[in-house]
Amino acid sequence: MLDLDGAAAPPRRNGDTKKDGTIHVTWDKQLYFKDHAGLQAALRKAGFPVLIKDGEFCKEPQDNGTLDPSGVGPGVRNVMKGDRGDNGKVTFVFTPSAVPAGTQLFIGYLDTAQLASVNGNPGSVERLVPTGVPLTCTTDAPPAHTRS
């Protein structure tokens, strides 16, 4: 279990994974949006392929840019799932075996101006991108998601 406990500073990191190969990350949502470098380093240390950027959103050149209203691209929910616990912390379950060969998870966090332009939602973009090839990146924020 990879435990990144947002209550501690710096976050506690344990590089073990579950027997089924999943990586569990316990991190309160506020820290998820604050410590991008810590999340990337911990996931990579545990063997999960990830690329995280701030204010920049990358995709492969042939990707049409499709995202759901939460900023999640096709296939991501197979490799990353979130569950909110009673204590308010979100546990993200990362499944390295579900990452297609030659790809990695990309997480792009919106910066302050981008967040303002979408009224704070989504706060990040997650998609699967290829490794070893140039990506197309932009600072254009994803479409806003209106909560009903």
Per-domain residue ranges for the chain?
Answer: 23-138
At residue 32's C-alpha, the angle toward residues 117 and 54, to 5°, is 50
Check: CB of residue 67 under 8 Å from CB of residue 125: yes
- DSSP designation for 96: G
Task: Find the mean pLDDT for residues 18-25.
Answer: 72
Q: How far apart are CA 130 and CA 88, in angstroms?
A: 33
Cα–Cα nearest to 31, from 80, 91, 73, 72: 91
Model confidence at 148, pLDDT cuts 50, 70, 90, reads: low
Task: Find the mean pLDDT for residues 40-62.
Answer: 90
Q: Give the number of residues written for the chain.
A: 148
Least confident of 30-39, 45-54, 94-103, 128-137: 30-39
Task: Find the mean pLDDT for residues 16-35.
Answer: 69
- Per-residue confidence (pLDDT) for residue 39, from 0 to 100: 84
- Per-residue confidence (pLDDT) for residue 43, from 0 to 100: 85
Prediction pTM value: 0.81
- Per-residue confidence (pLDDT) for residue 58, from 0 to 100: 96
